[in-house]
Amino acid sequence: MKQVLIVRTDIKMGKGKIAAQCAHASISAYEKTPFAKKNLWKISGQKKIVLKADSEKELRDIEKTAQMKNIKTALIRDAGHTQVEPNTVTALGIGPDEDGKIDEIVRKLKLL
């Protein structure tokens, strides 16, 4: 089991901002995930992988693919008080779900 957090690298965010967006994506996708999967993931150590994407379109395409495979997702928009424009899509949380199912979707993305 793992959870994947994908961050846009085509918008400028400091490392604290990135961490906050990832935490937001993590909790939001986690909350949508069924209890049994949540539990399996916690027992196995809450594995999380942080990846990068080049554009909002890339995040949205991955979101669609995940949804078609019935994997829970959370697309994060930032209120934009500080580093980015209001309502900017910043990150996408996926799962937790089975490693194989998630790998299929994010295979082409690189580690942040």
Q: What residue ranges bind a second copy (CB under 8 A)?
A: 3, 5, 7, 14-28, 30, 45-46, 48-52, 79, 111-112
Query: How many other β-carbons are positioned within 10 Å of the β-carbon of residue 103?
Result: 12
Residue 79 CB, shortest distance to a second copy, in Å, is: 7
Residue 86 CB, shortest distance to a second copy, in Å, is: 13
User: Which residue, 20 or 68, has its beta carbon nearer to a second copy?
Assistant: 20
> What is d(CA 67, CA 54) in angstroms, rounded to the nearest whole number?
20
User: Which residue, 30 or 102, has its beta carbon nearer to a second copy?
Assistant: 30
Pure H helices in 33-85:
35-43, 56-68
Residue 14 CB, shortest distance to a second copy, in Å, is: 8
> What is d(CA 44, CA 99) in angstroms, rounded to the nearest whole number?
12
